[in-house]
Structure 1
Amino acid sequence: MPEQDFSRFANLSPFELKDQLIDIASSDAQRLMLNAGRGNPNFLATLPRWAFLSLGEFAMQEAQRSYAYLNSGFGGLPEHEGIVQRFETYAGNHVGRDGVGFLRSAISYVKDQLGLNQDAFLFEMVSAFLGCNYPTPPRMLAHTEEIVKAYLAQEMFGQVPRSGDFSVFATEGGTAAMTYIFQSLRENGLIKPGDKIAIGTPIFSPYLEIPVLADYGLEIVDIRMDEHANWQLPQAEINKLLDPSIKIFCLVNPSNPPSSKLSDAVLDQLASLIATRTPDLFIVTDDVYGTFADDFVSIFAKCPRNTLCVYSFSKFFGATGWRLGAIALHEDNVFDAALAALPEAQKKQLDVRYASLTTEPRKLRFIDRMVADSRAVALNHTAGLSVPQQLQMALFALNGLMDREHRYKNAAKQLIRERYLTLYRNMGVKVAHEPNDVNYYTLIDLQELAGTLYGPEFEAWFIKSDLGTSFLFRLAQETGVVLLPGNGFEVVDTSARVSLANLTDREYASIGKFTRQVLDEYYKDFQKSRQQ
């Protein structure tokens, strides 16, 4: 087929380009479109959802007790006293329900493992389902925060001992967390136009797109992962952080789209440099894929004082539509230290900004400023993630905490890794699982694949012809397969990102075959060009 000019799409975000590809891929009504461009999982955790429904039924019974005499659809707030005893009666009448069994285990777990009062915990959960009160405290419900803290400590720290306590802010997904962090850094004068931001690349494209907006005007410094070292950070790249004009370092770990976690050695190199050479550096780590990795440890555990940790429940629990995210920050942190070190004139400006919240604005922690800034300060009293969402978040976290044999986690990891092998096997390529591989996504290095299949001359031609974007459009047009371009995530080699979370094993086999098919067609074009 004749090549078309797709250069007009070159500057689009990969997620906007995806819409163009979908239009082309779905244009043939006789063909099934296979969209592997977005990482929305097609699996989900059922137990915490059954628990949500069972708790909802019990909560409605509790609400009806208050105004039962009116017999007109009225309900009231649940009673705190004796609520666990009443739940036991309810549970006895519903033996065998998965959700009820989960809740009974949860009530026992929070007392035994977290030291929480059972009645207070259950009262908070029941009230949250009913949604009859504002989120109080606005940052996060008290028992929910303790549960999510325990879950994050389990998943982010591995065997690393916790260094002090940390606080959590419940947000409308990981994307809201990103928005709130950048906004509060700017509003509090911790970043300003012209400052440098270091970004571990390749990376989720919004981390590249937000800093250069006029709102922020930051200068990006690439801290580039090495594809040929399983996407690790070389020491030379880590050393770029020694530049004193770099204010903040953003990282997605495990990476998106390479889907590799940073090794223990790299984490130690980072931690050593930061502790000894750049102790005031701000770090933001987005660890949403950490729960799919083996033996994961976050930079949040290695550099607790410097790091804001972003986590989302969306991928691991199959809950993108719930919009459940969290920002975690240690009590002793460089963000609060930087606020304390601001010039007096700047402090006075911030005193005015936050004066409606407290008589001592300077004592307002950075994490609580994020809560206030998320609602333009004046609406701080109505801030916070909706309480039914916080309830489901708590139940997801409890599912992770109580899954002692890691059955759900192992099943999720096995599922995506089998899809990874299926994809490459059907391209005719043999791959092996490396210790730091996660496989939620994979980057098909098209130029390297071209060389592996047909030799270095074809690889050189493929690179020279700049066929990355046209390959994606040709793949969509001829086969109905939608992939995202790697260059939108700051990948150097011509590549395509494939999500391994949202299709079936059979469909990944088809994607592998179709990818090989289109490369074969390009090889024929290459042979013709040599004959001319």
Structure 2
Amino acid sequence: MADTKHSKYSKLSPFELKDNLIALALSHTDRLMLNAGRGNPNFLATLPRRAFFQLGLFAVSEAELSFSYMSEGVGGLVRHEGLSARFHTFVSQNRDKPGAVFLGKTLSYVRDQLGLDGDQFLLEIVAATLGANYPEPDRMLRISEKIVREYIVREMGVQGMATEEVDLFAVEGGTAAMAYIFNSMRENKLIAPGDKIAIGSPIFTPYLEIPELNDYQLSKVIIEADPKAGWQYPASEIKKLEDPAIKAFFLVNPSNPPSVKIDDAGLEAIAKVVKKRPDLIILTDDVYGTFADDFRSLFAICPKNTILVYSFSKYFGATGWRLGVIAMTRDNIIDQAISKLPEKAKKELDTRYSSLTTEPRKVKFIDRLVADSRAVALNHTAGLSTPQQAQMVLFALFNLMDSRQDYNKALKALVRRRDAELYNKLGMPEKEDTNSVDYYTLINLEEVSRNLYGDAFAQWVLKTQNPTDILFRIANDTGIVLLPGSGFGVLHPSGRASLANLNEYQYAAIGTALRKLAAEYYEQFKKGKK
């Protein structure tokens, strides 16, 4: 495929390339630009947000109980005495407000179903909402961690594990989790320049880019999912993980952008590798797991080996809130690996963490993550802001208390209808894959060409058209912005479309526009044959 005027953009991160595509799409003022490039959802959970704002009003009224003699708007810290009674009065007086009603139910659920101290929960979440104190503990507020842990364990398909065996670190979304984990793995000698790490591909682009930075200089071993096998990892690819030189395996599950969860056979195959390689560290980013049916994380299959990253951003429509967690079991191979480091390395780490404790070797990796996130010296001010933690707790409770899972069903139906509309108008057969979550879709240019106009046309497209050029032409001719699949490690020419950020009729319009463009390419193909 020859170089073209847009070939220079092919090396850009897809998230940088999109700016050029958007500018081109917007250059035509006589039409609407449809940006299907970014995964920011256009839906969000309203009830837990209503609850947060009602909680804010109650919390401020509690603060005003102190210093009430002052007229300058000065309040004080939350008072424990009588807090529960005042809360019930507040809920009762606001029965016409759904958020307040939900708040009242959370106290009952936390106390009666989770078995936690209702008074302590109320004190913690009210104080957290005010944001008047540093996070304490810095890793995550105590009751908040227990509640979010229940959500994580359930949604990640963890069975047979005591929830008390799981530790959480509340972080500023999944991207912060990635940055913290890469950094702490390096600082704690778990990875070093030249080391091999395996990456499940296709994958969220930064997982491909970060290892190449001067900070890390890691050697990547790509574990390639097979599009012909429903984007599952073939046994031959998983077998690569048996290489003892591979220090860690990083993956996104369900995948980004194919949006397919690892099936049971794949999970079992990875589990068998871990039995052979008990030292293999796994990082699984499971942000899309809540969109899957019967989801099971590798955290559920290989808990001692796995660091779990989960973000509330997509499922609750909360990218602006920056809410995520890192989860680890208390008994894990990462802490074991640190304990087996050479004495010289241990002494270096003793010095690094000596300001935290008189026994730095006892500091667990998840707590080292917290310290490293603030360059250790600022550990005393570490932690996710407490109002963010309060909203995270309300999101988690919203899901836990939804016994019929109505919100979950609604979101799944929403993205799947959008997927069906796009492919129906594109003239492609409807996909049938129980492992697909349909948050994104990869529009395979070869597959579309073959389905619409046959093998010869598909081969002509592959031979004569540059995929990046096609994306620019789509943006220019139709106002539609797609991201290049190649930027996510996809080997075939394709465009990634998010199914989360536009409405059904707009996805229908995308399908129609792409089909029209394919017809124009076909006319070029026919002229060439003549």
Q: TM tier, shorter chain?
A: over 0.9
* C-alpha deviation, 1:10, in angstroms: 1.2
Partner of 1:378: 377
SS of 2:438's equivalent?
coil
In 2, distance between residues paired with 1:510 and 1:447?
21
Partner of 1:39: 39
Mapping of 1:339-488 within 5 angstroms?
339-488=338-487
Aligned residues of 1:153 and 1:162 also touching (Cα < 8 A): no
* C-alpha deviation, 1:269, in angstroms: 1.4
Partner of 2:293: 294
Q: Partner letter of residue 449 of structure 1?
A: V
Mapping of 1:37-436 within 5 angstroms?
37-157=37-157, 161=161, 165-275=165-275, 277-436=276-435
* C-alpha deviation, 1:432, in angstroms: 2.9
Q: Partner letter of residue 130 of structure 2?
A: L
Aligned residues of 1:163 and 1:304 also touching (Cα < 8 A): no
Gaps of 5+ in 2: none
In 2, distance between residues paired with 1:198 and 1:382?
34
Aligned residues of 1:292 and 1:409 also touching (Cα < 8 A): yes
In 1, distance between residues paired with 2:81 and 2:432?
53
Aligned residues of 1:160 and 1:301 also touching (Cα < 8 A): no
Q: Which moved more, 1:262-271 or 1:313-322?
A: 262-271
Aligned residues of 2:45 and 2:316 also touching (Cα < 8 A): yes
* C-alpha deviation, 1:101, in angstroms: 1.2
* C-alpha deviation, 1:162, in angstroms: 5.1
* C-alpha deviation, 1:517, in angstroms: 1.4
Q: Partner letter of residue 467 of structure 2?
A: G
In 1, distance between residues paired with 2:424 and 2:127?
51
In 2, distance between residues paired with 1:400 and 1:466?
46
* C-alpha deviation, 1:96, in angstroms: 2.4
In 2, distance between residues paired with 1:160 and 1:253?
21
* C-alpha deviation, 1:164, in angstroms: 6.6
* C-alpha deviation, 1:67, in angstroms: 1.2
In 1, distance between residues paired with 2:412 and 2:466?
33
* C-alpha deviation, 1:528, in angstroms: 1.9
In 1, distance between residues paired with 2:270 and 2:302?
9
Partner of 1:504: 503
Runs (4 or more) in structure 1 with deviation over 4 Å come to 158-164
Q: Partner letter of residue 508 of structure 2?
A: A
Q: Partner letter of residue 98 of structure 2?
A: D
Q: Which moved more, 1:337-346 or 1:66-75?
A: 66-75
**TM-score normalised by length of structure 1:** 0.98
1:318-352: CA deviation from partner (whole Å, max 9, x where unpaired): 00000001100000111100110000000000000
* C-alpha deviation, 1:4, in angstroms: 5.7
Aligned residues of 2:159 and 2:300 also touching (Cα < 8 A): no
In 1, distance between residues paired with 2:164 and 2:136?
24
Aligned residues of 2:310 and 2:324 also touching (Cα < 8 A): yes
* C-alpha deviation, 1:383, in angstroms: 0.5
Gaps of 5+ in 1: none
* C-alpha deviation, 1:111, in angstroms: 1.1
Aligned residues of 2:153 and 2:163 also touching (Cα < 8 A): no
In 2, distance between residues paired with 1:191 and 1:151?
31
1:290-326: CA deviation from partner (whole Å, max 9, x where unpaired): 0000000000000000000000000000000000011
In 1, distance between residues paired with 2:117 and 2:285?
32
In 1, distance between residues paired with 2:88 and 2:173?
33
1:108-135: CA deviation from partner (whole Å, max 9, x where unpaired): 1111222211111011111111110001
SS of 1:464's equivalent?
helix
Structure 1 pair 452/118, CA: closer, same or farther in 2 (3 Å)? same
In 1, distance between residues paired with 2:50 and 2:330?
35
SS of 1:498's equivalent?
strand
In 2, distance between residues paired with 1:484 and 1:377?
38
Number of corresponding residues: 528
Aligned residues of 2:443 and 2:497 also touching (Cα < 8 A): yes
SS of 2:496's equivalent?
strand
Question: What root-mean-square deviation, in Å, do the aligned CA atoms of Structure 1 and Structure 2 show?
Answer: 1.2
SS of 2:380's equivalent?
helix
Tell me whether 1:9 sits opposite 2:9 in the alignment: yes
Q: Partner letter of residue 132 of structure 2?
A: C
Q: Partner letter of residue 203 of structure 2?
A: I
Q: Partner letter of residue 209 of structure 2?
A: E
Aligned residues of 1:22 and 1:35 also touching (Cα < 8 A): yes
Aligned residues of 1:162 and 1:301 also touching (Cα < 8 A): no
* C-alpha deviation, 1:82, in angstroms: 2.3
**TM-score normalised by length of structure 2:** 0.98
Q: Partner letter of residue 85 of structure 2?
A: Q
1:176-233: CA deviation from partner (whole Å, max 9, x where unpaired): 0000000000011110011101011000100000011111011111111111111111
In 1, distance between residues paired with 2:15 and 2:491?
18
Q: Which moved more, 1:263-272 or 1:160-169?
A: 160-169
In 1, distance between residues paired with 2:452 and 2:157?
41
In 1, distance between residues paired with 2:108 and 2:134?
27
Aligned residues of 2:370 and 2:383 also touching (Cα < 8 A): yes
Aligned residues of 2:157 and 2:294 also touching (Cα < 8 A): no
